[in-house]
Structure 1
Amino acid sequence: MSPHSCGHCIWCARGQDNNCDDSIVGRGYGIDGGLARYVLVATTRELVKLNTLDPVVAGPLTDAGATSYHAVKRTLPRIPPGGTAVVIGAGGLGAYAIQHLLALTSARVVAVDVSTDRLAYATELGAHDVLEGVNDDTTTELHRLLGGGANAVFDFVGIDQTITHGLQSTGKAGAYALVGAGNGSLRGTMFDKLPRDGEVFSFQAPTIADTLEVIALAESGKLRVDVDIFPLDRVAEAYEKMERGELRGRAVVIPD
């Protein structure tokens, strides 16, 4: 699993191994990947033992499942019983975030996306409401639905538009989690755009503990994991389908 961590720095000692000073992780670069028959790991810290879970199902959980879980877990103190949460981008990570929110909270979950197919999928997974598009109209409708801003907003896109409307959708004392790496920016003054008495955070990767907890959730039947399987010689096709948004869940590449 990713990221690599040393196991002995102050961050690792605190259980925040995703912040390890020796970490090698990035947006599509870093240590060697898994598109190979065999993968060399530096330490058994980077391995997760499975009990009943199929490795094909477990694969997406170590990245998309655990990353979205880390975001949801960070916001739990901000979401009261019967609270509200918004997931912007109901694709791979967002689909898991919806399930984590339903498993860990009693929040009303709203999924926001530009794709009607992904919104239909979000409804299948249990989202209480769905909104198509990210614009002034959907933000207004969101406030009407929830009676104000949400306790937590998760942005799995991270472009200018989703950052702007994500923050506008975050209520007082709420949390805005910027997870998507869309290289977006927030324009204008910060003071009136950030949630009052709330928090805004981002991060690079989940912790080892996050991954273990997500695997446990899946092994107990609390997570639905949809995968599209590709042999190693069709990996280019998997990337093309991902770019076109044609994957229902996550692509898993299986060496012959």
Structure 2
Amino acid sequence: MKIRLQILFFLISSLLYSQPPTPKLIEGIKNKAVFYNSSVKNSWEREPIYIGSIQKEIINKFENNRLLAIENHYENECNKGYIKREKNSFKNTFEGKVDIFVDTSQNIKFSKVVYHEKSSNTFDFFYANPVVLTNNDSQDVQIGYGYYIPLIMQAQNEKGEWTDIERYYTLDCGTCLNMIYFKPNEITITTSVIYDGNYETKLRLRLGENNFSNIFTGKINRSQIE
């Protein structure tokens, strides 16, 4: 009887805490890609691949990906059709209830400009895991600005402390930026670059100060923490 109760408790716990099925990403980028090896804190322009209701399959494309993703999910005060949002009609990333899930079972490709302090910037394709953000709030949540979602990756050091290993991407000019929103129960899919390095540790993503992703294992370089 005791064993049966333990099995029943395990099954109930699995149902309560398991991550809902995530969309399958169909790779549409044909370019060669690499894992990213860095010795410093980089900034990444994490662009949305998709925003909307949950789908079974989503194609990961290179051209016009971000434009299609934010369609009907942004406002820009420079557009003639812009309607100013009333106070308390939405929440920003620091206030909204957003679930973040890094799907390490899938690898996709994405293109990024890599910014170097002492040399010219480079453009390349990298491997990434899909990141699924879910709006669990009762209101719209502002998930990003421009074409970007301000997620930051954190790593656990040898003391068990969480440390940012990335920097926020800053735009040169903030005039007429798009403000990206998603509605309650909608999802936003973006990317989490897969690092390579000499130090295996626990990783997670954070959005704002209070929204954190699931914890997963990855490799980085120690200098990214130190």
TM-score (norm 2): 0.23
**Which one scores higher on RCO, CA 8 angstroms, separation ≥ 6?**
2
Determine which structure has the larger strand proportion and give its number: 2
TM-score (norm 1): 0.21
